[in-house]
Amino acid sequence: MSAQTAVILLHGLCSTHQETRILERALKQAGHKPVRLAVPGYTYDATLTHQCATGFTSWLQHVMQAARQLRQEHPRVYLAGISAGASVALGAALLDPEGVDGLILMSLPLKLDGWNIPFYQFLLPLVLYTPLGRLWHYRESAPYGVKDERVRASIESEMSARRVSSAGAAVLGVPHLREFHRLQRWIRKTLAARAPRPPALALHARDDEVASLANVELLARHWPDGRLDTVVLENSYHMITLDHDRIRVCEEALNYLRRHEVWHAPRTAGAGPDHGGAPQLPAPLAVQPA
């Protein structure tokens, strides 16, 4: 069995792993095993002209099947997701709490309530669940989840040149949005039930234009005390793995994994008695920009 910790990376809705490439690189540098997971009916498929969505339960089952397989080769398996990928990671863990050792939830959207969400958001179900949806699709627009103007300009150029950018697809169809909406509702309902919960790290921008900090507060109300770490980022919008705080995102993720590795590490021969306290941790890891 490999000594590496495996981390399954989950990108946003109908997107690609360009969104998580900096975290993937940081995980490799730290000796972990990042795993790009393409989820049928969720991941953007460049071979298709029209993207086809599958049911959200199939997304969750696919993730947990991959986690179970990785557990046969790695001592610990974590799920790390950005945006809708954070919701998929959370949903998979709620479906199978014993299947993973922890979660890294980046820009978790349990509700779409950020400052750039239009006031008529409450009408979205009319589009998602009625024939009106045949006449509508969602087109990404500025700021594309990014505060960094240089990165934003690059994303805008990508959006105009092709159907998908490093921040996701240029257009989202109703089928994907409908399944994501169903996933959000299912998670909120399931969170209210008493059940085992794995440790989790929530990384969220204060100025997230898609999902406000109220999403993290909602998660915290339904998570066991001491099993949720929260980091609020001050210089990013929604896509924190692409924005100004991307290096800190990697540092916080690596330090979170490191804390749990120390906690779960077997005691060596001749070690002193266990007094039940938390282990002493060395200095935090740092990530160098690529």
| pLDDT, mean of residues 36-56 | 86
| pLDDT, mean of residues 193-222 | 95
Q: What is the pLDDT of residue 144?
A: 77
| pLDDT, mean of residues 31-38 | 96
Q: What is the pLDDT of residue 172?
A: 64
| pLDDT, mean of residues 14-36 | 95
pLDDT tens-digit profile of 100-137? 999 999 999 999 999 888 765 665 776 676 665 555 55
Whole-angstrom distance between the N-terminal and C-terminal Cα of the chain? 30
CA dihedral in degrees (192, 193, 197, 202; nearest 10)?
Answer: -10
Q: What is the pLDDT of residue 53?
A: 86
Alpha helix segments (H runs only) across 96-244 = 124-128, 149-161, 174-191, 214-221
Mean of per-residue pLDDT scores for the chain = 84
pLDDT tens-digit profile of 142-161? 687 889 999 888 887 776 65
The CATH number of domain 5-264 is 3.40.50.1820: yes
Q: How many CB atoms lie within 10 A of CB 77?
A: 23
| pLDDT, mean of residues 12-21 | 92
DSSP 8-state secondary structure symbol assigned to residue 236 = -
Percent of the chain with pLDDT over 90: 60
Domain boundaries, the chain: 5-264
Contact of 80 with 204, CB cutoff 8 Å: no
